[in-house]
Copies of this chain bind each other. A is one copy, B any other.
């Protein structure tokens, strides 16, 4: 270990004896996955990452790359005693091309930090998610993070232009194009996006950053059933079109956790089975307000050939404080539930019309097996615009293996049967890797294995993750 101290300096190495600090590198924030690494390395440059990997490669030492460690599938913590390689010290924002809207930075920059930097310069990160204060842009890239703005700005696959990465043997791959368009050769950066650190360690990247909108509107609507939720989404797309920046939904049971836990006031007079949050962002406040008004007209009045209005009640935020309060309802669901018991979290994609069926079927299944209060503890919410459902089941009395056995693999199989994805945005990590076959054809799994074998033949990069049974 003298080697690491020599190469990285004291600030770059955390070893035995510093147990307290080491704990947060060894386990995820839900304490669901706990490793027992005795060595955390914190390189400050790409060259240092390369030194570490070269050394590890020669000696067959396994390495887990880690960003903000906010994942939900155990992808960024060691399974056993792998070396943890934290990118948090690589947090430099290096350049901003204001003409083309391209930022270049190291991978350890915290998402919110990057967004604040860009806000001061009239731009924004085309990605937003609850963990923004902790997660890193490199971790976002490694997990192809989706989040709240996907509907408007698309995937990281489309927004990442270039990348520098360190390969398993310590080779530095320089594919850091900072151009909007560059069609010279294969899309190498794409190999590392969504690979969860199993094919290489992302050290720097360049990202398309859109102009920051001048106007923002946030509104919350109540709906009588999921059919109305779907109709409201279509109306929003038709009326709000290019200014639509988020369409989120939650059922009443999900919001009840937030109301109870955080003592927040219900902004609507009556209770509704479903809620939709709509956000618009644009360059002209008056225009956006008028479009939102037109949407409301269409949604609150009885539509042609329909017997009921699509939304029953609603509120439009009058200022930034009210907008934040509405967002807090949606963003607070996950934390409120975690504080209320042990939560089984699922993140799936489904064809939109069948999205909520899974929540109903889960309640029926648990109820049939004697679980109480299923209407309250099984909740559905998520990114309606992306057909991405977060289904959470809260066991108030804590960890519950019987409940888990009822949920898995049944739930994953239900999703596979509906041609959905068992992981819409959270990745596979060590949580879902053995269920990969439910979302991927054998031919695709085989090609993944082939890529892994070619790029990391010793299997030292983030082992036991993504691929079934871990790396060979």
Q: In the complex, are the beta carbons of A173 and B349 less than 8 A apart?
A: no
CB distance from A15 to the nearest CB of B (A): 32
Question: A413 near B: Cβ within 8 Å?
Answer: no
Across the interface, A424 reaches (CB within 8 A) one of B173, B179, B199, namely B179
Question: A181 near B: Cβ within 8 Å?
Answer: yes
Question: A143 near B: Cβ within 8 Å?
Answer: yes
Question: A448 near B: Cβ within 8 Å?
Answer: yes
Query: Which residues of chain A from 15 to 72 have any CB-CB distance to chain B below 8 Å in the complex?
Result: none
Q: In the complex, are the beta carbons of A242 and B436 less than 8 A apart?
A: no
Residues of B with C-beta under 8 A to A281? 242
Given A173-B444, A454-B454, answer yes or no on A99-B230 (Cβ-Cβ < 8 Å): yes
How big is the A interface, by class? 35 or more
Residues of B with C-beta under 8 A to A450? 454
Q: In the complex, are the beta carbons of A187 and B183 less than 8 A apart?
A: no
A130 to B143 CA separation, bound complex (whole angstroms): 36
19 contacts between A and B (CB under 8 A): A99-B351, A143-B183, A154-B208, A157-B158, A179-B351, A179-B424, A180-B386, A182-B423, A184-B423, A184-B427, A184-B428, A185-B428, A186-B191, A186-B199, A186-B448, A186-B466, A190-B193, A242-B243, A242-B281
A residues at B contact (CB < 8 Å): 97, 99-100, 143-144, 146, 150, 154-155, 157-159, 171-175, 177-188, 190-191, 193-195, 199, 208, 211, 213-214, 230, 233-234, 237-243, 281-284, 287, 290-291, 294, 349, 351-353, 383, 386-388, 419-428, 432, 436, 439-441, 443-445, 447-448, 450-451, 454, 466
Q: With A182-B439, A287-B291, A454-B454 given, can you name 17 additional A-B contacts, CB distance below 8 Å?
A: A154-B158, A173-B441, A174-B441, A175-B441, A179-B351, A179-B421, A180-B386, A181-B387, A184-B422, A185-B194, A185-B436, A185-B439, A185-B444, A186-B448, A186-B466, A190-B191, A284-B287
